[in-house]
Each structure stands twice: as structure tokens, then as C-alpha cells.
Amino acid sequence: MHNTQSLLLLLSLGAGCSAVGTHPPDSGAEPEAEFQSLFNGRDLTGWRRVNTAPSTWTVVDGMLHCDGKPTGELRTTHMYQNFIFEVEWRHLVSGGNAGIFVWADDITARGVPFHRSVEVQVLDHGYGNTNSHTTHGDIFPIHGARMTPVNGHGGSRAFPTESRSKPSPEWNHYSIHCNAGSITLAVNGKVVTRGDLCSPSKGYICLESEGGQVDYRNMRIKVLPDTPVDEADVAQAEQGFETLYSGVDLAGWVLSPLDRERLHVRDWVLRAEAEQGTLALSTERTFKDYEFILDLKLAGDRAALAILPQGSRGKGMHLRTDSAPLGASLSPGWNRLQGTYRAGVLDLTVNGVDCSSARLEGPREGGPLRLEVDGVLDLANLYARDLD
């Protein structure tokens, strides 16, 4: 017994000496990154509402609940390049629609309530399966993004190789692995969908509201080492724009009783119907030097839009959709108007091209953004940011 104990002691000491020799304390080895929570179960710390209402995203029993109204997004406050994002989700109503965007821009693309990004579909079984989509974890680029699908059907959408998602109201687990422009999705423990050569390949993570009532829990991320990335493949970073339209009501706008009846909330679209007299709407918020965005689509034969960057006390830029400079710059469908007002000068671009510039007299202390509409127009994606 004594000899056996001595032999065991020597073997133990030998193994210990070997371990020390193989891994010296100051070897410089980097510890592996750990998963970090992306949702604290109490509030929206680390997330930002892009174009939705406060009622769209709420915390219920430690879960993040989306009521699906309006169509829009909640995004992270930080950008990510290479990472593993894990989340559990469940639809509460059969046929629900939602999604997760990766590598997204900071705000929505022109004429849509969605970001340029790569979308990971979050669909309930009741939505149905066709040759063009499934409810089991499709991945596809949207609104200017690019991706080469693995297991595609001739387009840009990647289809899952197996049907592994569970129907409402059961929970599903997604593990989204994004690395060096490639993306894989594991549904309930197995990788089923893949895409390569994605652009952008660095950006924000978004949760999409699109009609479905969805719960999310156990959201966490493991950040992986960066890899070389071209500037063209980096999404638009935070610019400081804040939404002026909730998509569910007219909160934040000052309107006369008559104009309130002529301004119609249609989810992410705001319809202005002013066929008899001018319709005026002003922000409750006031600005001094600032930048604003609004998307515009002509809904009638012709219309006029006046932009008064300092409210009714200041002068404005008056534009018609059937004459220059605005009419010559408009394209069919949605158009993006982006204005900068600084030191009394309003510069306006339409779809990224300079349209008009004017020196306007206004109160130095600032004022609201006022829009005056004649005719019928659809407005969307209304944002503003201070330039101070």
C-alpha cells in the first residue's frame, strides 16, 4: 500500500510539472470571448426604437414583448461585425410575421419601414409555406444589401435544409453565426440555413415588428475577433436621427381639429388629404440648426409641399410636384427628401441629389418643423436630428 501511494504521488507531481511547462503563466494567450446578455429583462437598455411607438416594445415578466404595431424596428445601440447571436422567440398568434436583421443601417431605407440589412425570417407555421418562402428560418438580403445564398432557389433567398421550427405558442431557439461576411442559422440546435458574401457585413442587429405578437427572451451575444472589411461593406453608423412619427397615432404633432381629420395614420405611412385648402402640421419639438428626413409619394395627380424649418413665424421653401425644382427631381414611387437648416439657410436634396437652396428668415431661438400640404401625399420615415 505504501509503495502504491508513493507511485501515485510521483505520477501526480509529474503531470503537474508537465502542465506548467506547457502553459506558462505569461504565455500571452487570449481568453475566449464569453456570451453577454443583450437584454436585461427590465428595460430597453442597449436598444433604440427606430421608427416605432413606445407601446410597440414592452417588458413583460422578464421577456421583451412586441405587439406588432406599427411595422418597424428596434435596434442595438452598438454595431457588430463578427458575432454569435442567440435568442429564444415565440409567436403568440398563429400566422405571425416578424424578423431579425443583422448588419443593418442605423435608420430605414427609402420608402420602406425596414433597414438595408440581411434578414433572418421569424414566421409562424400558420403563415404557410410556399416555393418562395418557408416558416423554418429563411435568410435573405433586403433593400440594397447583398448575399449569395446556400441552398437557394434561383434568387437571393437561402432556404433551410430541414423544417425544425415549432408552431405558436411554443418557443424556438435561434443561433445566428455571422463571421467575415458569411451567416449561418441554427434552428433549435441544428444549422439549417447559410449565406455567403454578404454586404454590409458590419452593422446593427434589429428586431422587426411586422404584425406578429412575439415574445423574446435569453438574448445574448458572443463577439468574435474582427476580420478585414471594406468601408463599402460597413453599414451606416449612428447619425442621431430620431423618429417624428410613431406609426400608431399623431403624438408629437400640433394640428388643428380639421387637419387632424385630414391626416390619416396608416401604419408606417401617414396620408395627407388636402384637396380642399392647405393642411398644416407642426412638430411639438423645436429646433435651431438641424437636419430632417421625410419620404414622399404622390397619391394624386399633383400636390404642393411647403417646408417651414422654423414654424409659422419663419419663411419656407414652397415646392410643387409638377414643376421644378421638386417635380424635376421626383421619381415614380417613394422619394427621400433630406433637408439641412443651418444659420438661416435651408438646403434640400431629393434622392441624394441637390434640389434647392434658400436663405430663409426665421426666429433665432428656433422653432418647430412645419409642413404644409396641398393635394394628396403619402409621407413616411420622418426623422430629425440636432446639428448643435
- Contact between 379 and 296 under an 8 Å Cβ cutoff? The reply is yes
28 pLDDT exceeds 80? no
Residues 82, 98: contact at Cβ < 8 Å?
no
CA distance 274 to 320: 14
**The architecture CATH gives domain 243-386:** Sandwich (2.60)
Write down the mean pLDDT value for the chain.
Answer: 91
What separation, in Å, do the N-terminal and C-terminal C-alpha atoms of the chain show?
A: 83
One fold for 36-238 and 243-386: yes
User: Which residue, among 157, 234, 228, 156, has the nearest Cα to 200 in the 3D structure?
Assistant: 234
- pLDDT reported for residue 3: 41
Q: 102 - beta bridge partners?
A: 118
Asked if the bond preceding 169 is cis, omega within 30° of 0, the reply is yes
Backbone angles phi, psi at 282, to 5 degrees: -130, 145
Instruction: Tell me the fold of 36-238.
Output: Jelly Rolls (2.60.120)
Smallest CA-to-CA distance from 189 within 215, 165, 216 is with 165
Give the DSSP per-residue string, 84-124.
EEEEEEEESSTT-EEEEEEEE-SSPPTTSSS-SEEEEEEE-
Helices H / strands E in the chain, number of each: 3, 25
Q: Do residues 349 and 355 lie in contact, with contact meaning Cβ atoms separated by under 8 Å?
A: yes
Q: Which residue has the cell 468574435?
A: 224
The pLDDT-based confidence of 37 (bands split at 50, 70, 90) is: very high
pLDDT tens per residue across span 150-207: 999 999 999 999 999 999 999 999 999 999 999 999 999 999 999 999 999 999 999 9
Query: Which residues does 68 contact at the CB level (< 8 Å), separation at least 6?
Result: 56, 96, 97, 98, 209, 210, 211, 212, 213, 214
Q: Is the pLDDT of residue 56 over 70?
A: yes
CA distance 376 to 302: 8
Is 6 a residue whose pLDDT tops 50? no
Q: Where are the domains of the chain?
A: 36-238, 243-386
Distance CA 145, CA 235 (A): 10
Instruction: List, for residues 233-287, the tens digit of each pLDDT value.
Output: 999 999 999 999 999 999 999 999 999 999 999 999 999 999 999 999 999 999 9
Q: What are phi and psi of 369, to 5 degrees?
A: -80, 120
pLDDT beyond 90 at 27: no
Copy the grid coordinates of residue 324. Answer: 421644378
CA distance linking residue 367 with residue 307, whole number of Å: 13
